[in-house]
Amino acid sequence: MSDSILDENASAASVNDADIKEALDGLTALQSDGSQEVDVWTGTLSLIKSVQRSSLGSGKSYLTAGVFTESGMLLLTDHVNRRLVLVDQSYNFVDEFKLDGKPTDITQGNEPKEFFVALREDGILRCTFKDGQFSALGRLLSPTGAWGIRFLGNTRVVGTEKFISVVGPDGQDIRSMSKSGADTYLALLKEENMLYHKDSNTIVGRRMEGVEIFRYSTNSLVYPVGLGLDRDGNLYVCGRNSKNVHLVSKDGLRDRVILSKLVGISSPYAVVVNPHRQEIVVTSSQETVAFEVYRFSEYK
């Protein structure tokens, strides 16, 4: 961008056509990094990166969930290899952290740089990730078969094959809600006390107190798995068998298929929304492509 435009002391007469063109070019370049505000209901998604599983430090990987750190790095759970995979802001492999159990989900805790990892039959691991160092701090009591995990204050919500369990800080159930279907991932909109989860082939939105607000199902969404939320509360859902990604409004009244198919993934599993840029990461069910990154842009 031209210095003449940025300098408050420059006179209006000094701004010529070349300055304006340079300023517009600079603005376009700034917007192309994915940080601009694009309406996700009218925008389009384009592939910006495809990551092969062979580049992640192991010939075989099964990335079931992920969470972005405050610095913009991404921690992914690798169920098959019993590890967390760390990638940088450009989605390049940085490191791995071995775990004593098979991770299925990961979420941020209440403390800075605190995370919790669901290990299915081995409880929930509390850990920290600070200055590139991973530390396991102990395990929490958990319902058997914990697959999805989210926190609201000291209350944790755990998804299992048969139940959504709300568990207090002492490990005791506050309430349980029956459901069906495996791979029970969760999304939690804390500001509005809303919980989202799957029930067989349906996505349920409910208050944390248990009251159902909506049920979302459509013939174009088959075997929903990964769930992700953007900062506006829009819900992103992977259809593992329908091979697509859906967008659902927080009240369940609006929806659209934002990816009718992926470029190199035929069976999407997890969707992780980048809180720093308008990008989503979609992982595969043990395919050659471990994950793909898509960026929103205005529809043209």
CA gap 175, 76 in Å, rounded: 29
Mean pLDDT over residues 71-78, rounded? Answer: 96
Q: Which pLDDT tens digit goes with each residue over 193-243? A: 999 999 999 999 999 999 999 999 999 999 999 999 999 999 999 999 999
Per DSSP, the three-state class of 250 is: coil
Q: What are phi and psi of 236, to 5 degrees?
A: -110, 130
Q: Work out the pLDDT band at 300, boundaries 50, 70, 90.
A: low
Least-confidence region, from 10-19, 69-78, 80-89, 101-110: 10-19
How many other C-beta atoms lie within 10 A of the C-beta of residue 215?
12
**Of 279, 201, 199, 203, which Cα lies nearest the Cα of 235?**
203
Residue 12 has a pLDDT of 31
Q: Is pLDDT of 29 > 70?
A: no
Handedness of CA 122, 127, 129, 133 (dihedral sign): negative
Least-confidence region, from 13-22, 210-219, 268-277: 13-22
CA gap 163, 184 in Å, rounded: 9
CA gap 274, 289 in Å, rounded: 19
Which CA distances in Å does 266 have to 66, 186, 263? 19, 23, 8
- Specify the residue for token string 């992914």: 76
Q: Is pLDDT of 28 > 70?
A: no
**Of 34, 133, 144, 155, which Cα lies nearest the Cα of 75?**
133
Domain annotation for the chain: domains and CATH numbers: 1-31 (no CATH), 40-139+200-297 (2.120.10.30)
Q: Is 35 or 5 the better-scoring residue by pLDDT?
A: 35
Taking all residues of the chain, what is their mean pLDDT, rounded to a whole number? Answer: 87
